[in-house]
Amino acid sequence: MKKDSIIIVTGAAGFIGSYMVGYLNEQGYTELIIVDDFNDPEKEPNYKSKQFIAKVERADLFNWLKTNDPKPDFVFHLGARTDTTEFDYSIHEKLNVEYSKQIWNYCTEKNIPLVYASSAATYGGGELGYKDDHDILNKLKPLNPYGISKNEFDKWALKESEKSKVKSQKCEPPNWYGLKFFNVYGPNEYHKARMASVIFHSFNQIQRIGKVKLFKSHKEGYKDGEQLRDFIYVKDVVAVCFWMMQNQPASGLYNLGTGTARTFNDLVKAIYSALDKEPVIEYIDTPADIREKYQYFTEADMNKLKTAGYSKGFYSLEQGVKDYVKNFLITQKIY
């Protein structure tokens, strides 16, 4: 993709979207159209120093595109309603399903390659494993409305793709990638409140009260703090997104984690290590409103991405946490 390519990034005021914009700028791409709900002043630091050619309100995007016809070369659709504690499905459906369909249809009509954010939340309790296999989509049982909305769009995207193959009619972008993000952490999540990463909250607890509170285990076979997640540093997430744009392998759904599950105890110890302090951990009950929907294990099967040609390694939990704590959290630096 040439440096003067026009690229749309949705969710550009948010966590991963703003990091994507910064990364693109760093690689020499400045002809960016950034899209989001820009009414939240807490998000402003995420984009105010970035380089772009247009800032478009999320609700105005499709009218703006029709009026201005900017002829984009690529779209990163990273905007979504990400609140896993929001149980009104209609909210997730509007933003994560219907809006995403509009993005997809625009890319199809204009022949623009697309990367969009799916989620590991689509895998639910992991009964069917964590393999990015298209054949299991209809069997997946996400644990919350957010995960359901992401899975519903993935299923719709695959149906549209199949239409293109079976009916020889244009129903999909020329290349498209639904990336199933696992537990992403890193700079520019300062505004996310309850939905910020455990690393962010743990760091702030250490600063405020000198200890970290982790959820007790309410499931047999897991000790307190030994719940497992595939934590991936946002630097790796955007590197993969960028690689997809540059290399455009076979279209489809791809996992985006490290492929290695780690415990919350490991995570907290990594934070304390980055701060040169001894760990102090207190275990508390998991909130009742999420207890029955809580994942105890996630680990991305990364074979598909590797087979597609992605050969770069990922930050280990210790490496990512150290970089995040020392270079961003301590100073509240924005990337």
Element (H, E) at 254: strand 252-256
pLDDT of residue 46: 98
Q: Which of 146, 190, 310, 315 is catalytic?
A: 146
Pairwise CA distance, residues 335 & 332, whole Å: 10
Which among 21, 32, 56 has a CA at the least distance from the CA of 242?
21
Q: In this structure, what token pair is assigned to residue 34?
A: 């950034």
pLDDT digits (tens, 9 = 90+) for 55-71: 999 999 999 999 999 99
Is 131 among the residues known to form the active site? no
Pairwise CA distance, residues 78 & 111, whole Å: 19
Q: In what order do the strands lie in the sheet with 114-119?
A: 54-57, 32-36, 7-10, 74-77, 114-119, 176-181, 252-256
Reported as a pLDDT band with limits 50, 70 and 90, residue 1 is very high
162 shares a domain with 281: no
What CATH number is attached to the domain comprising 218? 3.90.25.10
Query: What is the DSSP code (8-state) at residue 108?
Result: H
Task: Tell me the pLDDT of the chain averaged across its residues.
Answer: 95
Q: Is 89 exposed, middle or buried (0-12, 13-18, 19+ CB in 10 A)?
A: middle
**Under 8 Å between Cβ of 173 and 111:** yes
Reported as a pLDDT band with limits 50, 70 and 90, residue 169 is confident
Q: Strand, helix or coil at 214?
A: strand
Which among 100, 296, 300 has a CA at the least distance from the CA of 182?
300
Instruction: Report the pLDDT averaged over residues 130-144.
Output: 96
pLDDT of residue 217: 94
pLDDT of residue 87: 77
178 shares a domain with 30: yes
Alpha-carbon distance values, 179 to 76, 150, 154, 304 (Å): 11, 11, 10, 11
215 shares a domain with 66: no
Q: Which of 55, 155, 163, 192 is catalytic?
A: 192
Residue 111 lies in a domain: yes
307 shares a domain with 169: yes
pTM of the model as a whole: 0.95
Element (H, E) at 180: strand 176-181
Residue 1 lies in a domain: no
286 shares a domain with 149: no
Residue 102 lies in a domain: yes
How many folded domains does the chain comprise? Answer: 2
pLDDT digits (tens, 9 = 90+) for 201-227: 999 999 999 999 999 999 999 999 999
Pairwise CA distance, residues 256 & 173, whole Å: 21
Residue 2 lies in a domain: no
Which residue range is the domain that position 199 belongs to? Answer: 193-228+261-295+325-329
pLDDT digits (tens, 9 = 90+) for 246-294: 999 999 999 999 999 999 999 999 999 999 999 999 999 998 888 887 8
**Residue 84 scores a pLDDT above 90:** no
Is 333 among the residues known to form the active site? no
